[in-house]
Amino acid sequence: MLGRRHQGRRRPRRDHTVALREAEHGLAFEKRLDELGFGVLERPDPKHAKRMKIASSTKLSDREKFDRLGLARAPVNGSADIFDRFFENKDIDPQTGGLLGRYIAEERDTGRRLAACYAALAAPKAKRKKAA
Ligand SMILES: [Fe+2]
């Protein structure tokens, strides 16, 4: 599936990688829950409509969207994030632990990729200032 779509490209786009990951994370966790005999509980995100309004805005710049969605900062070693407490549960089985570890590493990598996109959006303004 991906091979044909990306033929001729040296690397997939960062945003496409992030979109694929997000889709896969949902399926991987649903699969693991199913294997453990559970299902997914629907918990609608109360901020979903607000976030979609920001993301689909035709008035906001991409840079403003990153700022408003809180996607402009890369994870920093030594500072806490929402993933730090995932392994406080000492009885996680190895298969679930492996899935969680991969998920956390990918989420943090996604944070770095999005921060790099944000930095690239900011670059043209900085160049203009230097030229002026
Ligand atoms: Fe994700």
* Residue 102 resides in a domain: yes
Structural domain count, the chain: 1
Q: Which domain holds residue 34?
A: 2-43+74-131
Q: Spell out the alpha helix ranges (H) of 36-93.
A: 48-55, 62-69
Provide the Cα torsion 76, 82, 87, 89; round to 10°: 160
User: What is the 8-class DSSP label of residue 35?
Assistant: H
Residue 50: inside a domain, yes or no? no
C-alpha 94 – ligand 1 centre gap (Å): 20
Tell me the pLDDT of the chain (132 aa) as tens digits.
344 555 555 665 767 889 999 999 999 999 999 999 999 999 999 999 999 999 999 999 999 999 999 999 999 999 999 999 999 999 999 999 999 999 999 999 999 999 998 999 877 655 555 554
Task: Note the pTM of the prediction, 2 decimals.
Answer: 0.78
Judge residue 114's burial from the number of C-beta atoms within 10 Å of its C-beta, 0-12 exposed, 13-18 middle, 19 or more buried. buried
Residue 67 lies in a domain: no
> In the prediction, which pLDDT does 3 show?
47
State how far the Cα of 27 lies from the Cα of 123, in Å rounded to an integer. Answer: 36
pLDDT number for residue 1: 38
**Using CA atoms, how far apart are residues 62 and 18, in angstroms rounded to an integer?**
16
User: With contact defined as beta carbons under 8 Å apart, do 51 and 66 qualify?
Assistant: no
| Distance set, CA 113 to CA 48, 92, 122 (Å) | 22, 29, 14
Q: Is 120 within a domain?
A: yes
In a domain, 62, yes or no: no
User: Is 63 inside a domain boundary?
Assistant: no
How far does the centroid of ligand 1 lie from the alpha carbon of residue 107, in Å?
A: 6
Task: Tell me how far the alpha carbon of residue 37 lies from the centroid of ligand 1, in angstroms.
Answer: 22
Is 48 contained in some domain?
no
